[in-house]
Amino acid sequence: MNTRRLATTGVALVATFGLGLGLTGCGNQDGADTPAASGSAGTGSAPASSAPADALAELTAAALKLNEQSVRMNIKSSILSGGGLMDPRSKSADMTLDMGAQGGKIRVIIISDDAWLKVNTISTKWLHMDATKLGANGQMNLMPDGDPGGAMKIVGGVVDVQKTGEGAFSGTLDYTKANPDNKAIEALGAKAKVVPFTAKTDAEGRLVELVVDTSVLVASLGKMTTTYSDFGASVSPEKPAAGETEEAPESLKKAFGG
């Protein structure tokens, strides 16, 4: 196994998760292992912000609904694409992330506190990691206690927001607030504190689209678009067979925050 390349892939994936505000419940791309598919949980209070109270309150409520039921998430950007299902109530997910030249296709299965990673360009086996040992900011701990849908990752970074129409918002994110103690974000400097975004909600007040203009961080990144759909769909990822798994190397765990 090429552990050095695995670690590099881990670092690239961590950086991508950070740039996407840590919201990654993806899966089911053509050419990757096909996820099995059963899919309402914690809430949180709104963060301190200078954003107008009404717009912030509405956006916060919409984001918090991501903690309440299973959802299909799709992400598209110049460095990552994917799509799949996540259930924050059971802390389960089945994801496939296509990172192209950065790391190929990466399949991730999460069941409670266990995560399995499979990189099609590196290893034929599933690499197991205990998310609880990766620390509070461990990047494989994608559904933390109290905020399993990652909703507070969104609203925690909002420093300005306006309602631009029915179910439509625009504003600014401060990545250093959304991702505290993240060295990759800190290294971006002041520009990480003024990242434009737009958001949309549906008729039931649920967040259905988040578009973050990451080109202000690195020009080649362009915009990262995350959409949410199929609310309430079933999510039942299967644990990889014991003979097809092995413990992830320490170099990879370290890359993910362990």
Domains and CATH numbers, the chain: 3-255 (2.50.20.20)
Rounded percentage of the chain residues whose pLDDT exceeds 70: 70
Query: Quick check: 5 and 101 in contact, CB under 8 A?
Result: no
Confidence band, pLDDT 50/70/90 cuts, at residue 171: very high
Top pLDDT among 233 and 132 is at: 233
Mean pLDDT of 233-257: 85
Chain centroid to Cα 39, Å, comes to 18
Give the helix/strand (H/E) hosting 15.
Answer: helix 3-19
Rounded to an integer, the average pLDDT of 49-53 is 51
pLDDT band at 88 (very low <50, low <70, confident <90, very high): confident
Mind listing the pLDDT tens digit for each residue in 183-217?
A: 777 888 899 899 999 999 999 999 999 999 988 88
Q: What is the pLDDT of residue 42?
A: 37
Write down the pLDDT at residue 213.
Answer: 92
Q: What is the pLDDT of residue 229?
A: 95
Amino acid identity, position 122: I
CA-based radius of gyration for the chain = 17
pLDDT of 152 reads 74
Q: pLDDT at residue 222 above 60? A: yes
- Rounded average pLDDT over 39-63: 63
In the block, tokens 């520009």 appear at 191
Question: What phi and psi, each to the nearest 5 degrees, are found at residue 55?
Answer: -65, -45
- pLDDT band of residue 245 (cuts 50, 70, 90) is very high
At residue 41, the pLDDT reads 35
Looking at residue 130, what DSSP letter applies? E
pLDDT at residue 162 greater than cutoff 90: yes
The pLDDT of residue 53: 65
Each residue's pLDDT tens digit, 119-155:
877 778 999 988 777 655 554 555 666 666 667 777 8
Select the highest-mean-pLDDT range: 18-27, 42-51, 121-130, 249-258.
121-130
Give residue 133's pLDDT: 74
pLDDT band at 179 (very low <50, low <70, confident <90, very high): confident
Report pLDDT digits (tens) over 101-110: 766 788 889 8
Give yes or no for a contact between 75 and 225, defined as CB atoms under 8 angstroms apart. yes
